Amino acid sequence: MPELSSALVTGATGFLGGHLCGQLLERGVAVRAGVRRERPSTAALARAGAELVPAPLDDLQALARAAHGVEVVFHVAALASYVAPWPRIEAANVTGTRNVLAAARRAGARRLVFVSSESVTLRNADRVEEDEDAPYPRRFLDNYSRSKALAEQEVLAAGGAGLETVAVRPPWIWGEGDTSVLKAIALAILGNSFLWLGDGSNRITTCHAANVARGLVLAALSPRAPGRVYHLADAVRPTLRDFIGGLCEAASLPLPRRRVPYSLAYALAAACDLLRSLGVKAPLMISRPYLIHLGRTWTFRDRRARQELGYEPVVSLEEGFGRLAAWIEQSGGLRPALGR
């Protein structure tokens, strides 16, 4: 399998983008780190050897300049929100992806690797050992899932005429450097507002950020990847209770104990989603996709990535929890690590 010479990473200052840039730099790839604004991670990327370039998703000219001469474009940047209004989500995730595709083609890139999401098949039902051939739902429950599905379809349809395209669907991305999902969980636990939907025995699919980055690199290298969609996953599918328990232990947080029936919580979330769709502020920051991920089983097969890309997780759950604990300690504790 050939090596990469150069790459542009959109969303390079984000959690996954930072891990991906780190792995590319370790492989000797000339990395252009696409940034939208100055963040604490910007200086770290520059020190690591990345070239910082402006790459706002709404500026096709800037994107084309950022992609000029690179071999592969990794499109990682996205607005990840289940409650943001459609115009914002569409602009970032659909129109933004369209602009990145156009820029990659204009710049002469060989391949574009798109970070999609398992949410493209999200529905209020268990998804057990689902593979990449599972259909999109007839009606999407939220704007984020809809936007990722639309963007994924555009990416795959754009392949050809000199530009190869690949879509990768990570599940729950976690690990050291996460100041988003871990922060939300920590704040809920510290605020005594975290509730189990049932007993937490539902199985989920996770993928440490280092494993996702590894899969993205392989998707950029493999001759079998163009036109394909890939799930990535950690080696095991933990129960939600076991995974949250591991996060709590790593972060020195108490394990939540309170429960609420899934049906009741889902009804409340549906009401909040309805209010948002009408332009009314919802009284609770909950949404149906959040509850589905906390209360349903969602496990995915990564067999295709293993067989076609040679993908293997490089970080186990146990090692990942250890790395997370070490990062929190090195940051001076949980609050400094999470930025508050």
Can you name the residues that pair with 6 across neighbouring β-strands?
30
| Angular region, 146: left φ>0, alpha ψ -120 to 50, beta rest | alpha
Distances in Å between the alpha carbon of 323 and those of 48, 92, 103, 175?
20, 32, 36, 7
Active site residue 144: yes
- Could you write out the DSSP letters of every residue in 190-244? HTT---EESSS--BB-EEEHHHHHHHHHHHHH-TT-TT-EEE---SS--BHHHHH
Distances in Å between the alpha carbon of 209 and those of 15, 66, 124, 320?
8, 24, 26, 9
Catalytic residue among 82, 136, 144, 262: 144
HSE (side-chain half, CA atoms, 13 Å) at 251: 28
Neighbours of 31 (CB within 10 A): 27
Q: Among 75, 110, 109, 81, which residue's Cα sits nearest to residue 95? A: 75
- Say which residue the tokens 């999902």 belong to: 181
Backbone angles phi, psi at 73, to 5 degrees: -110, 125
Q: Which two tokens stand for residue 24?
A: 């590319």
List, by residue number, the catalytic residues. Answer: 144
